[in-house]
Structure 1
Amino acid sequence: MATSFPVLHTKGGYFDVGYSIGSTFQSRIQTYLESSALFKETLLPFYDTREGRDLVETIMTLTEKNFPMYIDEVQGTAQGAGLPYEMLFVNNMLMEIYFGYSKNTPRLTREDLGCSTVYINRPDVKVIGHNEDCEDLIKHLGYVVDATIIENDVVEEKFTSLCYPGGLPGASLGFNYHGLTFSINTVVAPTVGVTTPTNYLTRAMLRASNIDEVKDIITNAGNGISTGCNINVGSVVDTSTQWSVEVVPRVSESKLSVQEIHESDDPEKSTYFHMNEYRHMNIKVETAARSKARLDRAMSLPVPTCARDARNILGDVKNLMHPIFRTVRPTDGAATACTGIFDLLNKRLDIYFDNPSMDIEPLLTFNMESSSRR
């Protein structure tokens, strides 16, 4: 049973916050890059080719113009961790290289795509529950960052985010001081663009104060996004609606579809599920069997009406080959690193590092009300 997970509270400019993350978690970041099969067998070999290096440098130049402050953050993390900046830039291009640029056959496949999300929007229960599925290393080497970004004596951003080692905040689950909550599901789009990496846009999303700003940031007019994704958004300020934002790369700007989950007394209308396929955008791609199995299983269970029901669904292991709560096994190369339960009415985020359907307390709890009012 999990007994600890580190949380860093940090304040300063973009570079300073990055440096604090890198220096605090230097050992975790270095161990992850030395141990990750994805990094060692797909990302690094790709970057070590002439074609790969040229492509990464092209994207790096584009990103430096598009999001210079987050480049500063990555450079700070790299310096703090004692690693080359280019190594961490590549580390933040996992989905682009893995599903688009690399010609190597990865050890993991599309079937190992991760993350499952449950929405409940009733008058008395407003919950978004999320399983963070990834390499099993993340459970042991990840960390949470609670950051206040200050530039020229002005608070630019405040957020709390679960982070992959050496990865930008925003790529998994978190919330900001505007009261917005976020989690991310990977989806495979028909193409992968040579433009701003997705991790930089989900990082930028942490500064949004409402759903319209989320859409503007992810659309990224003039540059777009490189890979497909699904962003699950809630608000502790206006709890009447929850949003499932599906994104697909397109020339010059991202294409979005927003499914609104409105408050309802009807359990069927107040519930929604999202795994790793496009559900409300008309995109023709092959659906991974593992994702389909998780969605089918979730929809076959009793309709959830409370946080405990969401935890039971996210902890379900009935399908032995493709369970919703995942552990590494011969049929699965990934695992559920943690489960986040966003309770929007009570302004609370609980994070479980063991199966959330068990009778256990969360290992981490964050008060989103205090964050939204600072």
Structure 2
Amino acid sequence: MTAKNIPRRQAIPVLYTRGTHYDVGFDMGRTFASIIKNFLQICNPLNESYLPLYNKDEGRKVYNETLESVKKSFPQYIRELEGIADGAQVEFHKLFLLHMDEITAICANGTEAVAPIGCSSIIVNNESSRIIAHTEDALTATLNHYYFVVAHIISDTPQGKHKVKEERFMSLCYAGHLPGYTMNYNHHGLVFTINTLSALHLRSGKTPRHFITRALLSAENFEQALAVLKDEGVGAGDGCSINMSFINDESGKCYNIEMAPVLEDATISQLDIKEICCGGHNCHANRYERLSTKEANPWLLASSQSRMNTFADYPPPACKDDVTQMLGDCSGGEYCVFNENDSLDELVKTIAVGVFDLNAKTIALYSDNPNKTKPHCVLPLILKEN
């Protein structure tokens, strides 16, 4: 049985690690080396698009100018990625290409790439429930190729453009990827999930969304989170949607923030911030709902519209049970919310589900449909002591 043909496993690996950025990366790579190597072998976008472009002048130019830009802003996360490569004994450039994904294809040859991630997120914010819940939808090759990382990083000197000395967080990671681009929380009480958005015009030499959301794991408050997302002086090279809240924020607000690539000749990300106050809820998939940004990837847009239509058929969610019912819905046919199609040719599958309960300070983790199974585990969200 090959790595590509392994059926859905009822397992969620979790690594606890502590050290420098390089140490944490090395532990991730060493611990999950076989999963990372398998994923690199079967990841079609990497092998059929990004690597062939990397071996051409136009692709190498996009790679080099983006890498140099990230090194200036976030050298600590480059060291972290180097640690993953060294620990897993794989080539660094392959991992960095995964973090550029569509930037490589679109900027190098102008053609659309297959977006590597789908995802649906639901926020519920009322007097009895504060919930941020998320399906992790990804290319079929990603099934069984992910893990959770719980890390504590302490640096001797302030690191990167935001001058960070300590980070403590939990994040779901795709094999070979940095933390931050899926479902996450940090010890300052920041909880956030990510929905990929496919803007048509991406920017080489700017900050890939994977590194912006990695930096978001260091944010201590809402103002710092906004500063990370704005990325002043450089700006985002691609786009995503961030569903977030701070557990102990006195305002009790949750947010959906759409981020789009910088405009031409600009040096700050485009952002639209939607507040979800007490008594409200919000659903988001993989299309821009408010920013007027031209979008690529018709498949992702059609899938997003179908999932949003499914959500609209439900009464407004008010509690955790409502949310798991919606996220486990399989009624949408080809574009359903929870995609558990057993076909090996299926483009995208739902690989995991996370339900953050901000009042209880827990996350429930599922590797299968939350309508049909109980969570594998319910982990506490451990916050920094004042």
TM-score, length basis structure 1:
0.92
Q: What aligned pairs does 1:155-170 form with structure 2 within 5 A after superposition?
A: 156-170=166-180
What amino acid sits opposite 2:24 in the alignment? V
Q: 1:344 aligns with which of 346, 354, 358?
A: 358
Offset at residue 284 of structure 1 (A): 4.4
Mapped contact 1:180–1:235 kept (Cα < 8 A): yes
Give the 3 Å change call, closer, same or farther, for CA 78–284 of structure 1 in structure 2.
closer
Candidates 271, 289, 293, aligned match of 2:306: 293
Residues 98 and 355 from structure 1, CA distance in 2 versus in 1: closer, same or farther, beyond 3 angstroms? farther
Closer/same/farther in 2, CA of residues 30 and 361 from structure 1, 3 Å limit: same
- Is 1:116 matched up with 2:120? yes
Q: 1:272 aligns with which of 262, 267, 282?
A: 282
In structure 2, distance between residues paired with 1:283 and 1:44:
28
Deviation at 1:294, TM superposition (A): 0.6
Deviation digits for residues 51-80 of structure 1 (CA, Å, limit 9, x no counterpart): 111220111111111111111111111111
Q: CA RMSD in A?
A: 2.1
What is the deviation of 1:139? 3.0
Return the letter of the residue paired with 1:294: R
State the match for 1:246 in structure 2. 258
Residues 10 and 323 of structure 1: is their aligned pair in 2 closer, same or farther, counting only changes over 3 Å?
A: same
What amino acid sits opposite 2:321 in the alignment? Answer: R
Residue 119 of structure 2 contacts residue 196 of structure 2 at CA under 8 Å; is this kept in 1? yes
The equivalent of 2:336 in structure 1 is 323
Gaps of 5+ in 1: 265-269
| SS at structure 2 position matched to 1:340 | strand
Cα deviation for residue 102 of structure 1 reads: 4.5
Task: Specify the alignment match of 2:4 in structure 1.
Answer: none
Specify the alignment match of 1:134 in structure 2: 138
Query: Could you tell me how far 1:113 is from its partner in structure 2?
Result: 5.2
Aligned residue for 1:47?
54
Secondary structure in structure 1 of the residue aligned to 2:335: coil
Amino acid at match of 1:289: A
| Alignment partner, residue 162 of structure 2 | none
Native 8 Å contact 1:22 1:166 kept in 2 = yes
* Matched-pair contact (CA < 8 Å) for 2:22–2:79: yes
Equivalent of residue 227 in structure 2, options 216, 220, 236: 216
Aligned residue for 1:327, secondary structure, equals coil
Q: Secondary structure at the match of 1:140?
A: coil
- Structure 2 partner of 1:267: none
Give, in whole Å, the separation in 2 of the partners of 1:175 and 1:98: 31
Report the equivalent of 1:307.
Answer: 320
Q: Distance in 2 between matches of 1:275 and 1:332?
A: 19
Taking the aligned partners of 1:104 and 1:193, their CA distance within structure 2 comes to: 14
Rounded to whole Å, the distance in 2 between the matches of 1:213 and 1:93 is 24
Deviation at 1:189, TM superposition (A): 1.8
**Matches of 2:272 and 2:110, distance apart in 1:** 30
What is the aligned length?
A: 364
The one-letter amino acid of 1:351's match is L
Match in the other structure for 1:15? 22
The percent identity for this pair of structures is 31
Name the SS of the counterpart of 1:321 in structure 2.
helix
